[in-house]
Structure 1
Amino acid sequence: MTVITFAVSVLCLLPQAASGRWACVRACPPSCTCTQERSCSVLCDRSALAELPREFPCEASAINLEKNRLKFLSERAFGTLPSLKSLSLDHNNISFITPGAFKGLSNLVELRMAHNDYISYLHTRTFSGLKKLVRLDLSDCNLFNIPDRIFIEQPALRELLCFQNNFRRIPGAIRGMENLTHIYLERNKIEAVAYNSLLGLDRLKYLDLQGNRINVIHDNAFQDLVRLENFYLNDNLLSTLPRFAFRGLSRLKMLNLGGNQLINVSRTWFSDLVELEVLYLDRNQLLHIEDGAFENLTSLITLHLNSNNLTALPLSVFQPVYFLGHLYLFRNPWECDCSLEWLKLWMDSYKLVRDIPCAAPSSVAGLDLSQVVFSSLNGSCVDPSELNLTTASSEVAATTEDRFNSLISKLLQQELREEMGNGTESLRNGTLSDEEGQLSAGARPAPTGQSLLALAVGWLLFGSLGPPDAHSCLRYT
């Protein structure tokens, strides 16, 4: 073993010249391919390797061992490779990593170990010796936790990818890592964000906590994230937030709170987010947005409020969002009354909003807000339901009056014809007595004006009987 180590050390002292490039190819492990470029890459991916090659070219700057069958990494598993910058062990069957397995890789910048389903435990000294490590990917493994001091030798670490594991809390190992800029913890089983979970991360720009089970966020949990720009909290179980949840996050550009269980939007949540450009509040259960909730969002460009239970969006809630370019409001049970007239006018003027289906009032249900016509009465807006009711009442009144006048006119003409007929019949049968004349006429007394009026009103009330003839009118009297 000593001889081999010495040989590797001598080889690693060769100058990085043309001969060095050819040396990389000559020392290439079996089942692998090595490039001849100045930066030597060793490609051993998809080679069905169950064990690591015994040696690697010391000129290697990148080694790819993805999609093999590696199960175990022993101490100093890769020897001494001072030029190595990138190492990928994704998609293997690694179950155990001996402490010090990466010693000898003093200049390693990126280590990828994602998609190793059998990694459930890491020793405190797993990454010992990797003092220049900048990016570490442990995604889609089977980790339930990592030791709090596991990154004690990685002061340069900036990007940590641990998504799709089994963490129930934010790993304490990241606390105080002042150089971290990106943390990916999505699709774990995290239930809460404690007040001290993210302490000391004052250079963090990107934090992804989406797809967890977070239902509690403590006060001041984000107080140290003063440089945060992108924050994903979507698809959790949040029903409320602390009063000043995002206080101090003045550099935040994007905040995603979609897919939670929020019912109310407080005016205090976003008061410090003066640089926020995109805000997601979609797929919640929002019923109410407090006045002034968006008043300090002077840089907001896109606002997602779709897929909630909102029925109204008063102008006092909305303004003053000065530069809003995209407003998404679909899949809400909007009540398209006068409180949304401003939105209709805004839609017509800027053409930046569409798909706002009305659920109420019934007179416009199913229509898009863009199709609703608001009218004014004495300078005031009239709700579509009131407008339709007023119009309908006027139409009914007018129709009733016309039918009444027409019926009276017809009945009066009928009475006149009946009287003229009776007079002629009397002259023709002048020898008959008055009593006999009444019997010959069918023993029906002539209708009076009062009876005609009663008949007209009755017919209007029971119009379904159809317009009566003269004889039926007489029978009703």
Structure 2
Amino acid sequence: EREHVVDHNLFKCRTSSRNISEPSHGQLGGEGKICPRRHSRSGPSGLVSPNCLESTESGHVFVDCQERRLSFIPTANTWSNKPKHLLLARNRIKVLPDGAFLGYENLDSLDLQQNQISLVEDGAFQGLTKLTTLLLQHNRLQTLSEEALIPMPNLGYLRLYDNPWNCLCPMDSLVRTLQVPSNRNLGNHARCAKPIWLKNMKLKHIDPELLCKEPDPANNQQSDETGYTGVLEPSSIQSKPDATTVCFTYHYPQIRMDCSNRGLTEVPSGIPDNVVHIDLSHNSISHLKARDFHAAKSLRTLNLSNNNMEHLDKGSLTGLLHLQELDLSNNNLTFVQHGVLEDLYFLLHLKLEGNLWVCDYSIQYMVYWLSLHPGVSPSGLVCYSPLEYAGDSVEEYVKAYNRECPKQQSRPDQDQTDPELWNTLMEAQAELEEEELEPSALRVPQKYQIIRLS
């Protein structure tokens, strides 16, 4: 209740000339309102300056206030420059009152996802005439009026999913706005949470006439018991979860997706092609399949750590031509089969620790690939088994394996009595010693083939 009062009356507090110093979180305004404690960078004269990061990239001013436990919108004059992008994700904001963003007229993007927002007043976005991107997903909104969007004529990208939308008559104007063909990027994936007969229907697809229509009592009674199916979308079988709705997506300064700790058993579908960083750590993905990342052609970093992963299919990393960092640590990998890493031309960091690497011939592809990519900095490639090699560097094991490979020997009588055969065996041995370590599939056919039988 206390936080709600702060948010709702913030702008009345801003005009208060009182400056009562309080030891805790706030001060009393002129009408007994609770206001944020005031001070400026040089002393107590302005609103509290949150511990946010101000930066400039490509001429755009970014203000990063993510995860700062904020329950109110900081005033625009808090910042040294007028921001182009304001990041307020993962805070404690509950209400967006009228005029919440006055002074932020230069904003191009506004990220408010993962807060506790349950109310957006109609004039909350007043003055944001240049705003093109608004992120309100993962909040507690049940209703939103079209009036709230009118002050943003250039809005082209709006995210509303993972809110408990109550699809009744007050949502009529918003639903009709989202369904205008030119608004194809507004409100995608948002679904009704209630009433029961409209549950899980997309706002984009719902018939607006149903919002203000009273349900048939007979059908309503049935819906309480079995669920009313007369207007539900046809159920579809979806083989994979959708990345857009399952993961948290952050758009600035670079597009990244946080899919960690989401209970995933496989890589989600629908990863956008412009995502630069994706975190899939701490899930239960045991098997990486071919084409899992075929659309994610812009990826620079990929975190697959802590997944109990046991196998990587050939082609599972196909298309990641620009990947620079790959984290496979803390999984159950024993080897990487030939061809898995072939598209990673620009990889710089490869994290491999905490796996069950088996030091036998199957591990040699990894070492051979690393030898051909000296720019890659690997970490954690250590033998886990067999016991005699546990804790040894895989690279050292492979070198020892090559040195200790037994030489083919002929019978003594042949060695002594047949000089031509003796010379032939010596040539074969010389070829073996000069041959570089590489998987059999990559070797150029040789005149002789040496087979290890031990």
Shorter-chain TM band:
0.3 to 0.5
Which structure has the bigger radius of gyration?
Answer: 1
Q: Please, what TM-score do these two structures have when normalized by structure 2? A: 0.47
Q: Please, what TM-score do these two structures have when normalized by structure 1? A: 0.45
